[in-house]
């Protein structure tokens, strides 16, 4: 994303370029572990000699801590200065990364260190998403966030071989994470400025009503089901290629290409913005995910695997900005949008777990039908949630 595009994104967002940069950096750093998961998994097996089950447990602890960071956010939203929150979140992230570099070969200590990192990452995600929710053009700001996360992931994966070379291994990767956290400290100040820009009304400390609690629960369910489905499908998409007899190198190429196509999905959401109904756009994205799952299931072979992965990734990343924007437009307190961190983290953790259980018990051919059932449920929740009226907007002093 070049500087002119960033400027164009910042102006309709009403946040200013410095605030947009801070939001993009924080939300991209928050998902750094997910972005480098394939490389980290291989390195953990080779260098730390951990089993697949232990590696899965480490990821679960990190994602769980990331999601649970939402709970204290319910308290600090509208109470503590956003710059101070950002600085503390970056500090926790740095501490977790350094602890990880010191305890690479201990499963227990590495799990604790990754949980600490996840808590910092989750706080950064909540902070970035709540700041993004104050944008005047929520569709575009969340599309820009999604695009930045995917782009940063591609850059990190390209850099990792040199970062982990010369005997540095996993420590090199964790040192890079800590360094990126230190750099993030320098981008923390604009969060306070973003808090005083155009925003949904009434981000106050008042008690949450039963109606608001029901809306938060519906928002969590809406996003949680979505992430269970796409998390499970994407985690085991490579199995369809393996089942078709493709080589591991070819499978990796297709999955990398799918990630690039996912960037195109997020970019399309940014370009479209609010020109069409958000509900219509979400339906279109859901249909693309269904189509991708169907192609993977019904068109085995190289071409079917490649097309299915690309369609799935495009639809998934096209939907994500509109999911966040839909929740933000109906959020008067900031608690619903912060709950998306909880829904996304636990959805992405539960998706592969459920998908793995389905494949082990019923075979790979059962995954797509189960995913289609989940998407049908997700579509019903989306239609119910988007029926609610958007909250009014005011300019906060």
- Which fold does the domain 3-199 belong to in CATH? Growth Hormone; Chain: A; (1.20.1250)
Give the bridge partners for 393, in sequence order: 200
CA 314 to chain centre: 15
Report percent pLDDT > 70 for the chain: 86
DSSP 134: T
24-37 pLDDT, tens digit per residue, is 999 999 988 877 77
What does the block give as tokens for 310? 């690309």
| C-alpha torsion sign, points 357, 53, 28, 134 | positive
166-195 average pLDDT score: 83
Instruction: Please check the confidence at residue 344 and state whether its pLDDT lies above 80.
Output: yes
pLDDT at 11: 46
Instruction: Please check the confidence at residue 198 and state whether its pLDDT lies above 70.
Output: no
pLDDT at 209: 65
Q: pTM to 2 decimals?
A: 0.80
Please, what's the b/e burial string for 277-295 (b: 16 or more CB within 10 A of its CB; e: otherwise)?
ebeebbbebbebbbbbbbb
| CA distance between the termini of the chain | 31
- Which fold does the domain 210-387 belong to in CATH? Growth Hormone; Chain: A; (1.20.1250)
| CATH 1.20.1250.20 residue ranges for the chain | 3-199, 210-387
Q: How many CB atoms lie within 10 A of CB 158?
A: 9
What does the block give as tokens for 116? 């600490």
Q: How far apart are CA 197 and CA 119, in angstroms?
A: 27
345-369 average pLDDT score: 84
pLDDT at 394: 40
Instruction: Please check the confidence at residue 97 and state whether its pLDDT lies above 80.
Output: yes
Report percent pLDDT > 90 for the chain: 26
Please report which confidence band the pLDDT of residue 114 belongs to, taking 50, 70 and 90 as the band edges: very high
Contacts of 339 (CB under 8 A, 6+ apart): 70, 216, 219, 220, 327
- Is 199 in a helix, a strand, or coil? strand
**Side-chain half-sphere exposure of 197, counting CA atoms within 13 A:** 25
Please report which confidence band the pLDDT of residue 235 belongs to, taking 50, 70 and 90 as the band edges: confident
Distances from the Cα of 250 to the Cα of 231, 238, 291, 298, angstroms: 21, 10, 22, 20
The residue with tokens 């740095």 is 94
pLDDT at 352: 80
Q: How far apart are CA 149 and CA 1, in angstroms?
A: 11
Round the average pLDDT of the chain to a whole number and report it: 82
**Side-chain half-sphere exposure of 7, counting CA atoms within 13 A:** 3
Instruction: Please check the confidence at residue 252 and state whether its pLDDT lies above 80.
Output: no
Is the separation of the CB atoms in 346 and 67 below 8 Å?
A: yes
The residue with tokens 């490579």 is 238
258-269 average pLDDT score: 90
Please report which confidence band the pLDDT of residue 10 belongs to, taking 50, 70 and 90 as the band edges: very low
Instruction: Please check the confidence at residue 206 and state whether its pLDDT lies above 70.
Output: no
69-85 pLDDT, tens digit per residue, is 888 888 887 778 888 99
Instruction: Please check the confidence at residue 141 and state whether its pLDDT lies above 60.
Output: yes
274-314 pLDDT, tens digit per residue, is 788 888 999 999 999 999 999 999 988 889 999 999 999 99
């Amino acid at each position: 994303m070049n500087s002119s595009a960033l400027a164009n994104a910042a102006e309709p967002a009403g946040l200013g370029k410095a605030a947009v940069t801070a939001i993009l950096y924080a939300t991209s750093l928050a998902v750094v572990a997910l972005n480098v998961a394939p490389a980290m998994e291989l390195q953990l097996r080779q260098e730390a000699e951990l089993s697949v089950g232990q590696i899965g447990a480490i990821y679960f602890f990190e994602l769980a801590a990331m999601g649970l960071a939402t709970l204290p956010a319910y308290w600090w939203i509208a109470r503590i200065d956003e710059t101070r929150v950002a600085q503390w979140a970056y500090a926790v992230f740095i501490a977790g990364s350094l602890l990880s570099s010191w305890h690479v070969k201990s499963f227990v200590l590495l799990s604790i260190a990754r949980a600490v990192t996840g808590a910092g990452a989750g706080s950064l995600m909540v902070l970035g998403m709540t700041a993004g929710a104050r944008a005047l053009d929520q569709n575009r700001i969340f599309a820009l966030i999604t695009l930045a996360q995917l782009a940063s992931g591609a850059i990190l994966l390209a850099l990792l071989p040199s970062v982990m070379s010369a005997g540095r291994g996993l420590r090199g990767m964790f040192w890079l994470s800590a360094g990126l956290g230190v750099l993030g400290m320098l981008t923390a100040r604009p969060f306070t400025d973003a808090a005083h820009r155009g925003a949904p009304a009434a981000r106050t400390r008042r008690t949450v009503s039963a109606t608001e609690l029901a809306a938060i629960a519906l928002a969590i369910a809406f996003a949680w089901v979505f992430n269970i489905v796409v998390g499970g499908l994407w985690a085991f998409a490579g199995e369809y290629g393996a089942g078709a007899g493709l080589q591991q190198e070819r499978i990796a190429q297709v999955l990398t290409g799918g990630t690039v196509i996912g960037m195109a999905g997020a970019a399309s959401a940014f370009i479209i913005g609010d020109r069409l109904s958000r509900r219509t756009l979400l339906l279109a994205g859901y249909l693309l995910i269904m189509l991708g799952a169907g192609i993977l299931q019904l068109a085995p072979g190289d071409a079917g695997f490649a097309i299915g992965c690309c369609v799935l990734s495009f639809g998934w990343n096209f939907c994500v900005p509109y999911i966040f924007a839909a929740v933000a437009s109906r959020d008067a307190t900031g608690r619903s949008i912060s709950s998306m961190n909880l829904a996304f983290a636990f959805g992405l953790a539960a998706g592969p777990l459920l998908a793995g259980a389905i494949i082990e018990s019923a075979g790979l051919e059962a995954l797509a039908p189960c995913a289609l059932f989940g998407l049908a449920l997700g579509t019903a929740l989306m239609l119910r949630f988007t029926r609610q009226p958007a909250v009014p907007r005011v300019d906060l002093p």
